[in-house]
């Protein structure tokens, strides 16, 4: 064989070796993955009112370092820690996963047992090394279906207290021991009507609540047949409370750029109201006087006493009482500079 032929064969062999090495490396990269043992992904049956905490041991089965830029829990019900991770070849690290079953159960409130499936994704920025794992189990409620959901309540702060009755059924062997509420203006009591049935009476006094949306959380304390206490089961009564007197528009004066503007002060319940006091006039004035009485609505002129000064905020407080009301209410106006908009709040007067 000639020297030239020998050199040519050697060159071909070298090229094949290079290509083979590159193919092997690309093949290894293509097989890179992060794995979690199947037993760690099985949750079994869990109470819907009890947070699920699980440690997943993430194992790098590849021959290279894998950097996870972010973990994705798939929904607001899931929190993952740490948020990122770097694993050397063959290394394992723990990933803490916390699931709030109550957020999962929102769409399944009429059931008492339903599948739970949460997918955790590891994003590396490379589709070849991205991984995902699916946690599976069953959520269990101590209540028997159908579970009655409280209606959305729309109240005015001058309304008398309202009581909402909610019938519930317990699963066999479950006993409702007591109920508690942690929201101002809300109290709750229950009456047993059978071994597995009770009626919850939720009393809401809007006069003791701030104006705005509310979610009154009530806790059901339940025991099983052996006397073991289950984690408290939340039952929320949601709605909104409006002030009886409000300003329109709610957004006024984009910053303090003019000396005066006009708004409408209006009764939300269509009744006359009386001005009890006007105070805290830091840069704003109005023609309202204590003792004045007005029909259901009236135009109100708001003037800025220092429009040319570099004033960061101006505010005005108006105390009112609607006809037939048992409470005073307070409207607070605040205007901020520059370009920020007015907002208002209403609450019980001092």
- pLDDT, one tens digit per residue, over 225-240 is 788 888 888 888 888 8
pLDDT of residue 82: 94
pLDDT of residue 58: 94
Question: Percentage of the chain surpassing pLDDT 90?
Answer: 15
Number of other residues whose CB lies within 10 A of the CB of residue 79: 15
What are the residues facing 115 on neighbouring strands?
138
Name residue, tokens 């997943």. Answer: 56
More confident: 95 or 32: 95
Mean of per-residue pLDDT scores for the chain: 75
pLDDT of residue 34: 92
- pLDDT, one tens digit per residue, over 84-124 is 999 999 999 999 999 888 777 654 444 456 788 889 999 98
- pLDDT, one tens digit per residue, over 271-283 is 888 888 777 666 6
Q: Is the pLDDT of residue 288 over 90?
A: no
pLDDT of residue 90: 92
- pLDDT, one tens digit per residue, over 210-266 is 878 888 888 888 888 788 888 888 888 888 888 887 766 544 444 444 555 666 777
pTM above 0.75, yes or no: no
Residue 271 tokens read as 């009744």
* Edge-first strand listing for the sheet containing 186-194: 162-169, 197-204, 186-194
Q: Where is average pLDDT lowest: 133-142, 193-202, 302-311?
A: 302-311
pLDDT of residue 304: 64
More confident: 172 or 3: 172
CA dihedral in degrees (205, 208, 214, 218; nearest 10)? -60
Residue count (the chain): 350
Q: How confident is the model at residue 309 (pLDDT cuts 50, 70, 90)?
A: low
Number of other residues whose CB lies within 10 A of the CB of residue 190: 18
Q: Is the pLDDT of residue 159 over 50?
A: yes
- pLDDT, one tens digit per residue, over 10-30 is 444 444 444 444 434 333 333
- pLDDT, one tens digit per residue, over 41-77 is 999 888 877 788 999 999 999 888 999 999 998 888 8
pLDDT of residue 227: 85
């Amino acid at each position: 064989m000639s020297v030239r032929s020998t050199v040519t064969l050697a060159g071909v062999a070298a090229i094949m070796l290079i290509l083979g090495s590159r193919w092997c490396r690309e093949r290894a990269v293509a097989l890179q993955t992060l794995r979690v043992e199947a037993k760690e992904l099985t949750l079994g049956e869990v109470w819907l009112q009890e947070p699920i905490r699980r440690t997943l041991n993430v194992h790098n089965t590849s021959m290279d370092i894998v950097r996870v830029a972010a973990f994705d829990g798939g929904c607001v019900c899931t929190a993952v820690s740490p948020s990122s991770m770097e694993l050397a070849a063959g290394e394992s690290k723990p990933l803490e996963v916390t699931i709030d079953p109550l957020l999962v159960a929102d769409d399944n409130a009429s059931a008492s047992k339903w599948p739970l499936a949460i997918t955790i994704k590891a994003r590396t920025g490379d589709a070849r090394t991205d991984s995902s794992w699916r946690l599976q189990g069953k959520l269990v409620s101590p209540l028997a279906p159908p579970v009655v959901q409280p209606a959305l309540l729309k109240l005015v702060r001058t309304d008398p207290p309202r009581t909402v009755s909610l019938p519930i059924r317990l699963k066999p062997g479950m006993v409702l021991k007591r109920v508690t509420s942690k929201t101002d203006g809300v109290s709750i009591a229950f009456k047993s009507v059978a071994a597995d049935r009770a009626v919850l009476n939720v009393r809401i006094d809007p006069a003791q609540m701030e104006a705005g949306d509310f979610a009154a959380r009530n806790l059901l304390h339940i025991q099983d047949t052996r006397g073991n206490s289950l984690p408290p089961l939340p039952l929320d009564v949601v709605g909104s409370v409006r002030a009886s007197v409000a300003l329109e528009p709610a957004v006024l004066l984009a910053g303090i750029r003019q000396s005066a503007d006009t708004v409408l002060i209006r009764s939300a319940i269509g009744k006359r109201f009386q001005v009890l006091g006007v105070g805290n006039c830091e840069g704003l004035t109005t023609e309202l006087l204590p003792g004045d009485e007005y029909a259901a609505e009236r135009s109100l002129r708001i003037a800025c006493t220092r429009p040319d000064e570099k004033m960061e905020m101006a505010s005005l407080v108006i105390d009112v009482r609607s006809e037939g009301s048992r409470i005073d209410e307070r409207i607070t106006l605040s205007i901020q500079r520059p370009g920020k908009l007015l907002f208002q709040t209403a609450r019980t007067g001092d």
